[in-house]
Amino acid sequence: MRISKRERRKIKGGYFWNILWIDLDREETRFLEFDEAFALNYIGGRGFGAKLLWDRLQKVNIDPLGPENLLVISPGPLAGLYLPAAGKTSFVSISPETGIYGDSSMGGSLGTELRQAGLDALAISGKAKTLSYLFIDNGEVKIISNEKLKGKGSLESEGIIKEDLRDEHIKVLTIGVAGENQVRFACVTSDWGRNAGRTGIGAVLGSKHLKAIAVRGSKDLPVFDLPRLRIASEASFRDLRQNKNFTFWQEQGLMSVVDYVNEAGVMPTFNFKEGVFEHTKKVNGYEMLSKYKIGDTACFACPMACGNVCLVKEGKYRGTVVEGPEYETACMFGPNLGVHNFGAILKANQLCDELGMDTISAGNLIGVLIEAQESGLLSEKDLDGLNFKWGVEEAILETVQRIAHRKGIGNILAEGSRGVMKQWPHLRPIISQVKGLEQSAYDARVAISMALGYGTSDIGAHHTRAWTIAKELEMGMDWPLEKKADLVIYHQTLRPLFDMLGVCRLPWIELGFDENQYAEFYSAVTGFETPLNQLLQRSMDLYDLTRAINMEFGISRKDDYPPERVFDMPMTEGPHAGKILKREDYEAILDIYYQKRDWTKEGRVKDAKIAMFNDPLVSE
Amino acid sequence: MTWKLAVVPERCSGCRICELVCSIQRFGVNNPKKSSIRVMVVYPHPIIRMPIVCRQCKVAKCMENCPTGAIVTKDGIYDIDEEKCISCQQCVISCPFGAIFLHEEMETPFKCNLCGGTPSCVDACPKNALLFLPEHVLGQAQRMASVLKYGHMKEVEYVEKGEKKVLRYADIEKGTTED
């Protein structure tokens, strides 16, 4: 019976047709088979995650750090295949940082390994009795208790587990001390320094007493028409390699963005007060290349190799080795804190990686402390007597440690911006956050589309959904609001689609790779001819679904505003000195945005649409 | 003339595109675990990424140790004859580089056969970490590097037809007191 049902399917490749559900409370594992409609409508990656989360929310109330929270790890149907940058895995859960829908994605090889183990997604609920790790060996699951991993760093744990299981090729996902201590912005790490940083996925794992997940898989990945995929991919790889910026990109990776952002005057400087940093030359890509970079690193199947391996060869941070920094880290620990010692940035990056926390949130919150000290909003006693000043590295590095171990002031910061605002309500105006997620490293004052992107992002102030700032600054400053809203919606539709498919967005955004190729890949892999606009429609629907999830937690128009200082604190330097965002403009663009999304004026998804998400497509 | 597949580990980024291409070319499946080239990553100490692939040794340990004579050679390229192979895996442990691989779905071990003469992985490598060279060229890059290191190399920037170029030269006087 089952075989004939499979033969009738429109989708003939791309999926193993099962989700592995691990219930840690009962130490029970089940394979759930899903309907074809589930694959068609939600595609994979964060799509699968959001739908599973929605189904669960209909049955139980979820506390982000409670055992009932669900963590879905899902790579997407294109992950692990021979096409550019097919190495992304999505992590979806109710976020401990924001208390609403949260997701984050990771590169590296973990997704490929999960797929090769024969899984389309992994869902974890419950809580282990003691600190444990999972070992998924080609779909077979073991829950291994190991108290020895307690207090070990992320990378250190990866090494220990690889040694335990005697396999260097195994892929291991770990959390650090921050994750164990449920720091609200703890991250998960794999492949010696690839992180899914945002929304506190590491804290979810920590709350489940799961230190790590080790995966080994060796199955052939299902592709309907491999020769067709190969032709399309080879053309794509060739296009990318012929791009004039290709070598430059390999050399600097995301660090090349530092100079660009500073020239554009939107560099987060001194806790987002300013938009240009006078010492940018000491923290940019060229500085890294000439003194620190010792190697390139790439995620699975990615020709662009944007990762940098850096080593500090002299000075007090001598011997610091880190896979990084990425642009965000360099800015949040550099200009945003007034630091212009690249070695110190690398040290902070390494500490955050090893302790297992998000560099964006950590850098952002420490910036808040420095500004609070400077403007007298917090006293020295509040700040544990640490010397918080712009550019003073010691206090910054010490605070990073204290956050992970939840000591003193670190214990307050570990609760994320929502916790800090609860403790010190008067700091609210100086904290750059949306929905409780700290703003990432692009200023939102100048480009209203970027402010809208932050405001309406389903996870909070992160640029992953809509990074429209470059386009608006380069060509769209005098566009009508309508067109800017369209730009945001297009980004919020296409970029999440990459996460659904399991591929990286950087070839498209940085090297101008044609997004229509992904429709070709999808069609070749699944055997179901699908044009890009149909895939985009799935992604549009998913945005409604994540909004619906957020509505369950009371999110509405009131939460869709960019950080406060965007409206009332103009920069004093740089090309955009004196500019602020006008509140009435933002209200206007928000109205347009809701209208285009077919949401109500209060920012609610209409009931008829929500009903669409209620079909049970996964049989438990 | 014999051609060799050479690896430049310093250039490797660990993207594993070579593994993908290999499994597709050789076995027609998208499965990096069925490739005859594997990227090994060592981190954090020391930091190395290195594709492991058969070097087509002239004195081949795999061939010497094979009890059934299943390692065959043609034009200097070694391969495993599946008919003769009894899958004792002696070759796998004999290879000093670990360049012969096993997979649970495969009856016999497998190794690089240079795709019969034009290895697919070389073109696919986006970092040019894999080179396919005539045997006598091997080592020339290292010889060149040591020559360049010998003379204290200096650089002059100049402009030709509006294009900025760099010329390198060794300074005869060296200008240092070390000798």
pLDDT single digits (tens) A601-616: 999 999 999 999 998 7
Model pLDDT, residue B76:
87
CATH 3.30.420.40 fits A247-438, yes or no: no
Q: Hey, which residues 159-218 in chain A have their CB within 8 Å of chain B? A: 168-169, 191-193, 217-218
- Choose among B17, B40, B104: nearest Cβ to A303: B17
User: What's the topology of domain A2-216?
Assistant: Aldehyde Ferredoxin Oxidoreductase;  A, domain 1 (3.60.9)
- Return the closest-CA partner of residue A563 out of A419, A426, A440, A420: A440
Cβ-Cβ contacts under 8 Å, A303 against chain B: 15, 17, 126
Report whether pLDDT(A460) > 90: yes
* Whole-number pLDDT of residue A105: 94
Q: What is the pLDDT of residue A324?
A: 84
Give the number of domains in chain B: 2
For the packed helices A583-597 and A481-501, what is the interaxial angle rounded to 10 degrees?
50
pLDDT at A440: 94
Question: Which residues on B lie below 8 Å from A109 (Cβ)?
Answer: 16
- Does A243 contact B at CB distance below 8 Å? no
- Alpha helices in chain B, H assignment, sequence order: 17-27, 61-65, 90-94, 120-124, 140-150
B121 and B178 housed in the same domain: no
Domains A2-216 and A247-438 share a fold: no
pLDDT in tens, A10-26: 999 999 999 999 999 99
For residue A172, the distance in angstroms to the closest alpha carbon of chain B comes to 13
Give the bridge partners for A106, in sequence order: A89
CB of A109 within 8 Å of any CB in chain B?
yes
- pTM of this structure: 0.94
Domain CATH number, residue B31: 3.30.70.20
| Domain layout of chain A by residue ranges | 2-216, 247-438, 448-614
CB contact under 8 A, B103 and A221: no
Q: Rounded to a whole number, what is the distance in Å from the CA of B23 to chain A's nearest CA? A: 10
Query: Which whole-number Å values give the CA distances from A245 to A249, A268, A327, in the listed order?
Result: 6, 25, 17
Same domain assignment for residues B118 and B161: no
- Residue A3 confidence (pLDDT): 47
B28 and B112 inside one domain = yes
Residue of B nearest to A84 (CA): B17
Helix (H, G, I), strand (E, B) or coil at A178: helix
A386 touches chain B (CB under 8 A): no
pLDDT value at residue A2 = 44
User: Which residues are registered as beta bridge partners of A236?
Assistant: none
Q: What confidence tens digit (pLDDT) does each residue in A318-328 have? A: 999 999 899 99
List chain A residues with CB under 8 Å of B13: 250, 295-298, 305, 307
On whether both B156 and B74 belong to a single domain, the answer is no
Distance CA A262, CA A284 (A): 10
Rounded CA-CA distance A158/A163 in Å is 9
User: Residue A168 and residue B40: Cβ atoms within 8 Å?
Assistant: yes
Instruction: Please write the tens of the pLDDT for every residue from A510-546.
Output: 899 999 999 999 999 999 999 999 999 999 999 999 9
- In Å, how far from its chain's centre is CA A141? 27
Model pLDDT, residue A428:
94
Cβ distance A295 to B104 less than 8 Å, yes or no, reads: no
- CATH, domain range A448-614: 1.10.599.10
Q: Is the peptide bond before A96 cis (omega within 30 degrees of 0)?
A: no
Q: Are residues B112 and B147 in the same domain?
A: no
**Which residue of chain A comes nearest to B18, CA vs CA?**
A301
Token code pair at residue A477: 């400053």
**C-alpha–C-alpha distance, residues A272 and A442, integer Å:** 9
Chain B within 8 Å of A237 (Cβ-Cβ)? yes
Q: Which residues contact A530 (CB under 8 A, 6 or more apart)?
A: A519, A522, A523
pLDDT (mean) for A359-380? 94
* pLDDT tens string A462-516: 999 999 999 999 998 899 999 999 999 999 999 999 999 999 999 999 899 999 9
Strand residues in A175-275 grouped as ranges (E): 188-190, 194-196, 210-216
Whether B78 and B54 have beta carbons less than 8 Å apart is answered as yes
What is the sign of the dihedral through the CA atoms of A167, A168, A172 and A178?
A: positive
Q: Which residue in chain A has the smallest CA separation from B49?
A: A297
pLDDT at residue B1, rounded to an integer:
76
**pLDDT per position as a tens digit, A197-242:** 999 999 999 999 999 999 999 999 999 999 999 999 999 999 999 9
- The closest CB to that of B15, out of A192, A217, A300, belongs to A300
Burial of A187 (0-12, 13-18, 19+ CB in 10 A): buried
Same structural domain for residues B56 and B120?
yes
Find the chain B residues whose C-beta atoms sit closer than 8 A to any C-beta of A.
Answer: 10-11, 13-17, 20-21, 24, 28-34, 38, 40-41, 43-45, 47, 49, 103-105, 124, 126-127
- Give the position of tokens 């006293």: A379
**Same-domain pairing of B97 and B157:** no
| Chain centre distance of CA A14 | 24
Task: Given the cut 0.95, state whether the ipTM is greater than it.
Answer: no
| Res A317 pLDDT > 50 | yes
Contact between B44 and A155 using a beta-carbon 8 Å cutoff: yes
Which of A221, A297, A303 has its CB closest to that of B31?
Answer: A221
Residues 6+ positions from A103 with CB-CB distance below 8 Å: A46, A49, A50, A90, A91, A92, A93, A199, A459, A499
Residue of B12, B30, B105 best to disrupt the A interface, most CBs of A under 10 A: B30
Task: Determine the structural domain holding residue B148 and report its residue range.
Answer: 139-179
The shares of helix, strand and coil residues in chain B, as percent rounded to the nearest 5, are 30, 25, 45
Looking at the fold, whether B83 and B30 belong to one and the same domain comes out as: yes
Residue A338 has φ and ψ, to the nearest 5°, of 75, 15
DSSP string, A531-577: -HHHHHHHHHHHHHHHHHHHHHTT--GGG----THHHH---SSSTTT
CA distance B98 to chain A (A): 13
Please indicate, yes or no, whether residues B101 and B160 belong to a single structural domain of this protein.
no
Strand partners, B40: B50
Both B124 and B145 in one domain: the answer is no
Top residue of A169, A240, A322, A525 to mutate, by most chain B CBs within 10 Å, is: A169
Q: In A, residues 317-346, which contact B (CB 8 Å cutoff)?
A: 321, 323
What's the confidence (pLDDT) of residue A620? 60
Residues B71 and B107 in one domain: yes
Which tokens go with A142?
A: 């073991």
Position A151 confidence tier, pLDDT thresholds 50, 70, 90: very high
Tokens of B33: 């675990």
Distance CA A444, CA A272 (A): 9
**CB atoms B104 and A168 under 8 Å:** no
- B30 and A298 within 8 Å at the Cβ level: the answer is no
